[in-house]
Amino acid sequence: MESFELLATPFWVNLLILVPLVLFWYWRKNKLSISRNTLFKTVMFGIAFGFIEAAVVVYLRAALGFLPGFEGTITDVWREAKSFYYNQQLVAEELPISLLTVEFFREAFTMVMILSVAFIAAVKLKERFALFVWMFAFWDIFYYVFLWATVRWPTSLFTPDLLFLIPVPWMSQVWFPILISALTILAVFLNSKPGK
């Protein structure tokens, strides 16, 4: 059984918990002018992109030999993965430099894609940033939802995960990014007022 760990590594990653709190306070005074329609459409993008991200991870795990049962059905993966502990730190250490390079750029261009949709969906910088973090939060949560639905990982909210590689590997338990994403969603939703 995995035990609760409070802190992520490197240490400065823990400061990300302040982002939704600061944004909530700022947007309380400077309401966001984002329509519910825009919020809904960008949620759909975030959720869909969460599946794409999960699929990439499933393929990467299978290619590296970290996904038992992938030659069969999803049920085979679920059954065989129950006894298989998927160690994210191991992936960070054993990922070939060629794949590590591709992963680095994939992460960077993922941010570009989400930011691009935010720039298309809003005119003002404040709303663009809000939509960026909004979509990022849904993408992040549904990444875990779709990974669990397809390969039954993470096994719990206390499962360790490799969050990002930029600029160095970030490690934490799954509950940490989900908490930050949930707080971010609340900060945007509670402070948005219907706009054009």
Token code pair at residue 7: 């802190």
The per-residue pLDDT for 188 is 98
Amino acid at 73: T
The per-residue pLDDT for 89 is 58
In terms of residue numbers, what domain contains 53? 34-187
The answer to whether residue 127 sits within a structural domain is: yes
The per-residue pLDDT for 11 is 94
The answer to whether residue 23 sits within a structural domain is: no
Residue range 114-126, pLDDT digits in tens: 999 999 999 999 9
The answer to whether residue 94 sits within a structural domain is: yes
The number of domains in the chain is 1
The answer to whether residue 27 sits within a structural domain is: no
Mean pLDDT (the chain) is 89
On whether the CB atoms of residues 77 and 152 are closer than 8 A, the answer is: yes
Query: Does 93 score more than 80 pLDDT?
Result: no
Find tokens 């250490």 and name the residue: 93
The distance in angstroms from the start CA to the end CA of the chain is: 49
| Of 180, 194, 192, nearest in space to 141 by CA | 180
Could you tell me which residues come within 8 angstroms of residue 18 by beta carbon, excluding any fewer than 6 positions away?
none
The answer to whether residue 38 sits within a structural domain is: yes
